[in-house]
């Protein structure tokens, strides 16, 4: 217990003193988070759906929950069920094998719902495109509000995309 407390004290709040070169990125994250909170005036709940990604995009979505970005601190929460979600954050090209499941998740999400398509794959099919096994972009399967290109998009780009969607 003692070493753990020491560690916590020494680390402090990591979002505070970012290394100089990365300070700009840090400030941008904070600004975006606050703006999302301001526009919504309440918590935003997100259901992430991987509809066929290479898992690279998931790595960056995970990074949104690290102590630097600390999305939860701005009231942005990832939830387990689409029924509790305001927004679907969808990665992939949508595989044919996930087409049905994605439609069901979309149907289960209460209106008004926002859909953000993540990554080059989610936005336009990326390197996988459309094929016998892939429907391509998310918008080929469900309506999309905002696309966040990038392979994978950085955490800052993801936040910008989420912000663009709540602005709508």
Partner 1 sequence: MRFFGEPIEFEKQAGIGSPAWRGRADDGEALQAFAVAVHRNGGRLAALWGEDRRKGGEGFRLHVAFGLDMGHAWLGLDLPAAHPAYPDLAGIFPAANRMQRATRDLVGIATDGGDQRPWLRHGAWPADWFPLRHDAGGGRDFTNRPSDYDFVQVGGEGAHEIPVGPIHAGIIEPGHFRFSVIGERLLRLEQRLGYQHKGVEKLFIGMNPADGARLVGRISGDSTCAYAWAYASAVEAACGISPPPRGLLLRALMLERERVANHLGDLGALGNDAALAFGFSQFMRLKEDWLRLNGKIFGHRFMMDRIVPGGTALDLEAPALAAIVEQGDAVGREVKELKKIYDEHAGLQDRFLTTGTIDADLARELSLSGVAARATGLILDARVHRQGYTPPAPWAMLGVRPATDERGDVAARAAVRFAEIFESLRLLRELAVGLPDSELRVEVPPVPGGSGLGVIEGWRGEVLVGVAFDDDGKLARVHPHDPSWQAWPALEHAVMKDIVPDFPLINKSFNLSYSGADL
In the bound state with ligand SF4, the residue whose beta carbon lies nearer, of 82 and 126, is: 126
Cβ of residue 86: shortest distance to partner 1, in angstroms? 16
CB contact at 8 A, 90 and 121: no
Which residues in 22-51 contact ligand SF4 (CB under 6 A)? none
Task: Assess 50 for contact with partner 1 (CB under 8 A).
Answer: yes
Contacting residue, 14, 38, 151, 154, with ligand SF4 by CB under 6 A: 151
For residues 119 and 50, what is the distance between their CA atoms, to the nearest angstrom? Answer: 11
Element (H, E) at 44: strand 44-50
Contacting residue, 76, 90, 121, 141, with ligand SF4 by CB under 6 A: 121
Contacting residue, 44, 60, 144, 147, with partner 1 by CB under 8 A: 60
CB contact at 8 A, 109 and 69: no
Radius of gyration of the chain (CA): 17
- From residue 152, how far is each of 3, 61, 101, 162 by CA, in Å? 37, 9, 23, 15
Task: Assess 110 for contact with partner 1 (CB under 8 A).
Answer: no
Contacting residue, 23, 38, 67, 110, with partner 1 by CB under 8 A: 67
Q: Is the peptide bond before 114 cis (omega within 30 degrees of 0)?
A: no
- Region near partner 1 per CB under 8 A, out of 34-42, 110-118, 129-137, 159-167: 129-137
Task: Assess 119 for contact with ligand SF4 (CB under 6 A).
Answer: yes
Which residues in 15-34 contact partner 1 (CB under 8 A)? 21-22, 25
Sign of CA dihedral 48, 49, 55, 57: negative
CB contact at 8 A, 53 and 46: no
Interaction site with ligand SF4 (CB under 6 A):
53-54, 56-57, 91, 119-121, 126-127, 151-152
């Amino acid at each position: 217990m003692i070493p753990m407390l020491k560690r916590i004290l020494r680390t402090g709040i990591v979002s505070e003193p970012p290394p100089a070169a990365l300070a700009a990125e840090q400030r941008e994250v904070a600004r975006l988070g606050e703006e999302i909170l301001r526009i919504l005036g309440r918590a935003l709940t997100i259901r992430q759906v991987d509809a066929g990604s290479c898992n690279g995009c998931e790595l960056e979505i995970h990074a949104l929950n690290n102590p630097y970005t600390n999305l939860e601190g701005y009231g942005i929460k990832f939830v387990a069920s689409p029924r509790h979600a305001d927004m679907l954050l969808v990665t992939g090209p949508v595989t044919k094998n996930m087409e049905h499941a994605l439609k069901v998740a979309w149907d289960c999400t209460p209106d008004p719902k926002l859909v953000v398509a993540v990554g080059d794959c989610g936005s336009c099919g990326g390197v996988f495109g459309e094929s016998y096994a892939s429907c391509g972009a998310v918008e080929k399967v469900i309506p999309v509000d905002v696309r966040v290109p990038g392979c994978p998009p950085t955490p800052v780009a993801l936040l910008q995309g989420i912000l663009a969607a709540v602005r709508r």
